[in-house]
A and B are shown apart, each in its own frame.
Chain A
Amino acid sequence: MRDFKPVVALIALSTLPAMAPAADDAAALRAELQALKSDYDSRVDALEARIKQLEAANAAAADAALAVAAAPPPTPEPAPGGTPAGNASAFNPAISLILGGSVTGSSRDPADWHIAGFPPAGDEIGPGERSFNLGESELTFTASIDPYFSGVLTAAITADNEIEVEEAYFRTTALADGVTLKGGRFFSGFGYLNEVHAHAWDFVDQPLVYQAMFGGQYRQEGLQVKWLAPTDLFLEFGAETGNGASYPATRLEKNGFNGATLFAHAGGDIGEFASWRAGVSWLTQKAEGREGGIEDAEGVPLFEQFSGDSDTWVIDGVLKWAPTPRRQLKLQAEYMRRRESGEIADSTGLVLADDYRNTSSGWYLQSVYQFAPRWRVGARYDALDSGTPSYLLAPPDLIGANPDRFSVMLDWNPSEFSRLRAQYDWDDARDEAESDRIWRIQYVYGIGAHGAHKY
């Protein structure tokens, strides 16, 4: 007997959009008629209003003729509340393009930048190269697919002339009762910053804890289901699973999925001017032959590969206070704690220990203040604790590392679509004894469709 459970589940899922409310009966018909009548009424009203406006415009125009600097005349042929397009391109997705780049200077060679006590988490971490650099040019396409789904593609064109699919996913729009399903490649919904795209960051780079624990941002190919509670207090619950394509997980040599992510967020307003959101998330993942190990204080690698379990807790919180439309204070912090246990091996795959265990943690606290309509200033403190790996054959004098960093930034936003930023870091990620001083000037420009930003 074969197991058809997944097939049944899929079929059940596919009927969900059809469960949209069915039309009522006679009452609905009556309402429809009433609506039709009112609709005509409103059109007649609109026409009447239009005539009045034109009369007023004529009268005003006569007066304005006397004035030297007259107002621009109203356009006579408006499209009633929508796009008049009737061509094939009318269904093209909204396209937006982000241009970014920076100039970087550092007191130490960026090539040897690493986070002491942590395994390397990918190539997208660190301050980047010196001098002028091109950031990722982000191209985003979004559109409704049909009444049931919408789709998003974000492609990053890197400075090395490569195209990387940053996110590509579908999302349901017609499920009932606050449920949203998302599938494809997407940034995981845990924590606060993980889902935020680079152009919307408040600093040039991600906090150290994100760089050390997730290589910047965690994403995989998988599925996400979110449920929003029907309460006035914002209460959101989410679960994800996928193939574990990025650090700290790896793809596994088996069918199915790798691990799971659970998250919950709550949020609301405090009085008229302040709002908050806080959350707790848990990730449980597996790694098989994950490349990269930890070095001891002398720079000697303890191991080169890790296989085993990686479980992470994340706590996040954001508070925003905006006493006027032109001023805002944003306070934000996240704490992460990870426990890994399993096997460590050398570069050839030879197992060095099968009782490896380590618990690492880190946090950041940042504050950004918009003190004038176009200006913001911010400060951020990062701190990490690498933990001390424990296994039977571990060197007895092994000690953990405590890298940290302090950053300040100032940015100028001439419009919603442009931003120039300066950032200075006192960076002790390598070691206290190897302090780095890094400055960066960055530009971020947005072209095309007006993006809508999450909280």
Chain B
Amino acid sequence: MKKLIRVLALSLAAAASLPANAALKVLATTPDWGALAQELGGDRVNVYVATTALQDVHRVEARPSLVARARSADLVVATGAELEVGWLPVLIQESGNAKIQRGARGYFEAASALSLLEVPSQVDRAMGDIHPYGNPHVHLDPHNIRAVAHALTARLSQLDPGQAAYYASRAQEFDARWDGAIRAWEGKAAPLKGVKVVILHRDQVYLCQWLGLVEVASIEPKPGVPPTAAYLGTLVGRLTTTPPKLILLNAYNDPKAANWLAERMHVPAVVLPFSVGGSDRAKDLFGLFDDTLDKLLAALK
């Protein structure tokens, strides 16, 4: 009997020590956080991304495959600020995984490392799909990516203390490359400063903010509310006094309204990748910003 107990105890201890050697399982809600987790975690993480660049992250189904991934995840990397409110809570609830519950170490929100833009002073659903904690589409400002990278590195080291030095060195290396890239992008983007643009949804606000693009209108009359023909008509009237140079839309958007407006205003409609995977060149975070800037600059010529 004693022998049996000893064998059981030993095998239990062996089982418990296993995760220390295995890679951390990361469930990222968007391709961008997935790419960042991969940059920082290297071969110590096993990243699964819940959505693609061609999906609208507001409206994602809590599919069984995602519940299964949440079940075995060590870390959920989400945007937060209610961007994933329609589906992530279901995944976490159905997962039966104590590690990733809200408030646990395995639940990470990028927004917690950032100051959000457009925090409304009052909220009412009559204003459309507004987010009470501010605009959650934070990833199109590379400075935000940098801040999230630091917070995420801290979290990875908390979860996997044995590899803290590894994460720190990867973070340092990423930081150096990223800072260099930001300098290059900002130098290249100088001609974009002050350029008047029309955006489609408020998910391009951080990009405009970073590049100094001036948003003169958005095609959606209210966030998440598709434009009617009548609204587009008045928009054309309004825009003739302050003509935009570019109309911005994302790979996942329905291009109809933007194309119609572009034709009317005789300005180009630029389809931006928006997320990693949103275009052929946007294979990682660097490619995402390279491609976004090149598309904007090319359209300006």
A contact residues vs B (CB 8 Å cutoff): 20, 24, 27-28, 30-32, 34-39, 41-42, 45-46, 48-50, 52-53, 56-57, 59-60, 63-64, 67-72, 74-75, 77-83, 144, 147, 150, 171, 173-180, 226-236, 265-269, 272, 275-277, 320, 322, 324-326, 373-374, 415-417, 447, 450-455
Contact = CB atoms under 8 A, between A and B. Distances in A.
B42 interface: no
B141 A49 contact: yes
Nearest to B115: A78
Contacts of B210: 52-53, 56
A223 to B, nearest CB: 15
Nearest to A57: B209
Given A42-B147, A56-B210, A24 B114 contact: no
- The bracket for how many chain B residues form the interface is 35 or more
B64 A178 contact: no
Interface in B215-246: 215-217, 224-226, 238-239, 241-242
Interface stretch (B1-9, B118-126, B280-288): B118-126
Interface string B100-111: 011100000101
B61 interface: yes
A35 B85 contact: no
Which secondary structure dominates chain A's binding surface? mixed
B68 A235 contact: yes
B191 interface: no
A81 B238 contact: no
Contacts of B213: 60
B217 to A, nearest CB: 6
A454 B95 CA distance: 12
A53 B150 contact: no
B112 A82 contact: yes
Interface stretch (B28-36, B154-162, B264-272, B289-297): B154-162
B147 to A, nearest CB: 4
Contact of B116 (A71, A78, A272): A78
Contact of A46 (B68, B96, B101, B113): B113
Contact of B217 (A38, A59, A69, A147): A69
Contact of A226 (B54, B96, B113, B212): B96
A38 B147 CA distance: 10
B120 A38 contact: no
B98 A174 contact: yes
